[in-house]
Amino acid sequence: MNVLLSNDDGIHAEGLRALARGLADLGRLTVVAPDRNRSAASNSLTLEAPLRVVETQPGWYSVNGTPTDCVHLAISGLLDVEHELVCSGINDGANLGDDVLYSGTVAAAVEGRFLGLPTIAFSLATGTWGKKNEPATGRHFDTAARVARELVGKLLARPLSQATIFNVNVPDLPYEKLAGWRATRLGFRHRSESVVRAQDPRGRTVYWVGGPGEGQDAGPGTDFHAIEHGYVSVTPLQIDLTRHAVLPSLDLWLRETHV
């Protein structure tokens, strides 16, 4: 199996190296990743500047672009390889709930789906996340890599459709302390924290985007709840954002409302 790896933390990121080690014996791996951290790049493509690619070691390519650029290039002509799966990550931090709209990690997976491949985005819930009432002990990328290997192994044994996009979050715990696996839906965060006003060295006002809010819709069945209780969260995503249930009432409103 030919597997394409990418991420948004950059080609030198610890999580990307761990993912490559975890999947090394499952197929032929090719890595195409940004040359620096491009977190929260979402699905942006670089259209007004050329992209440069550098092979940093055999099979590893660095791109001066976004995660979406990397996957698009890799599948659309950069490499003479027919990939069968795209794996993105392992992100240094959770991608839960509405994080998926901003995440470059998830965007890399979505681009693979746009181009016809099954895809998986992996994130390690570093920081404050851990098993309920048990603080995370810190940066267990080996745990996330083992989870990635098991999930990709499941796909090899029993393939799913090409429409597959999995958003996988792994608690920042030793593997033996994981509570298990959960199929989950996306939760929803509270409003983000306020922007942070500061001054640069010349006394000019600058602003930093505030941190993400805590989970608001975070009950049983959500990705937030799974991570809080020590479970690996596997959320199936879809690209169609249409709110289908509203279409009949919207159609009626459009036909009956006259301005």
**CATH no., domain 2-188+215-256:** 3.40.1210.10
pLDDT tens digits for 88-124?
A: 989 999 999 888 898 999 999 999 998 889 999 999 9
Max CA separation in the chain (angstroms)? 64
Cα distance between residue 145 and residue 115, in whole Å: 25
What pLDDT score was predicted for residue 174?
A: 93
Which of 7-16, 179-188, 237-246 holds the top average pLDDT? Answer: 7-16
Least confident of 135-139, 200-204, 237-241: 135-139
170 — pLDDT class (breaks 50, 70, 90): very high
Q: At what angle do helices 14-23 and 141-157 cross, to 10 degrees?
A: 40
Q: How confident is the model at residue 190 (pLDDT cuts 50, 70, 90)?
A: very low
Structure tokens at 44: 């942006």
Q: Mean pLDDT lowest for which of 21-30, 77-86, 146-155, 209-218?
A: 209-218
pLDDT confidence band for 233 (50 / 70 / 90): very high
pTM, entire model: 0.85
Distances (CA, A) of 245 to 12, 242, 250: 44, 9, 9
Higher pLDDT, 242 or 257: 242
Q: Give the pLDDT score at 133.
A: 45
